[in-house]
Amino acid sequence: MKDAGTSALAGQIAVVTGAGRGIGAAIASALAAMGARVVLCGRTRAALETTAGSIQNGGGRCAVMECDVVDLRSVESVAERVDRTFGRLDILVNNAGVGTFGPPLHQLDPDDWDRVLNTNLRGVYYCIRSFAPLMIRARSGHIVNISSLAGKNALANGASYSASKWGLNGLTYSVAEELRAHNIRVSVICPGSVHTEFSPHTGRNADKMLQASDVAHAVAMIVTQAPQSFASEILLRPTQKP
C-alpha cells in the first residue's frame, strides 16, 4: 500500500453513493482526508450536507449531488455534471444499498424484493453504465463495489438481500474482466455485519463488531494499490465474534 496520507489522492475525483450516513459517509470522509475531491451522492440532501460539513470541517473538499441510483436519468445527470464540473473521474464507490430482513422468501412482498434488487444490483449497473465512460476515456480508474458476506453465505429470512449481493459479486468479477483492458480496476468488498446507526444489530457487542471506518480503510487500501496489480476481492471480518 502506498502512503495513505493527506496527499495520496491529491487531484483525484471520487464519487461515493449512499454517502449521507454510515459506511458511505465513512468512505467519503476517508477519501477526502487522503486528498480526493469527493462527490457525495444520495437521495437525502440533509444527510449529504451533514457529511459534507464534517469533511469540510476537517479541511477536505467535497460536492453534494443528489442522486437516486434506481433512476437511470438521475444517475446519468450526475455523471454529466461530474464530467462538466471536473472533467474526470478516478474513483467510483458503489455503496448505496438497502436490506429487508424478516419474512422468509415465500412470504416476502414483491415490492420489497424489487426495492432491494433495484437498489443493490440495478443501481450499481446504472452507475457503472453512466460513470465508466469517463474512466475509459482517461484509461484509468477504480470502481469499488460494497457487497457483503451475505453474498457468500446463506442468509435465512434475508434471501432478497443475499441474492442481490451474490449478484453484485458476480457482476463485479465480470465487469473487472471487461474493463481491465482499459486500465480500470474493479473490486468488491464483502464485510460482515457493520455497526452503524442504520443497522445497529441489537444484542451484539458493538465494540467487537466491524465499524464503518474498517470498510473505509479497505477502500483506501484498494485505491492506493500499486498500478501493476489490484485486490479484486476483500472479505472483511471482525477479529473477535461479537
Boundaries of every domain in the chain: 13-236
125, 126, 161, 173: which is the annotated catalytic residue?
A: 161
Domain 13-236 has CATH 3.40.50.720: yes
The number of beta carbons lying within 10 Å of the beta carbon of residue 216 is 23
CA distances 151 to 18, 69, 161, 228, 236, Å, are: 19, 20, 8, 28, 12
Q: What is the pLDDT of residue 201?
A: 65
- Residue 206, judged by CB atoms within 10 A of its CB (0-12, 13-18, 19+), counts as exposed
**DSSP H or E segment with residue 38:** strand 37-42
Is 161 tagged catalytic? yes
What's the whole-model pTM score? 0.94
Averaged pLDDT for residues 63-79:
98
Model confidence at 68, pLDDT cuts 50, 70, 90, reads very high
> 89 CB contacts (<8 Å, ≥6 apart)?
13, 14, 15, 82, 83, 131, 134, 135, 138, 141
Q: In terms of DSSP H, where are the helices of the chain?
A: 22-33, 45-57, 72-86, 110-117, 123-138, 159-179, 212-223
Task: For 184-206, write each residue's pLDDT tens digit.
Answer: 999 999 999 998 865 556 667 88
The position carrying cell 464483502 is 190
Q: What is the pLDDT of residue 3?
A: 41
Distance between CA atoms of 32 and 15, rounded to whole angstroms? Answer: 11
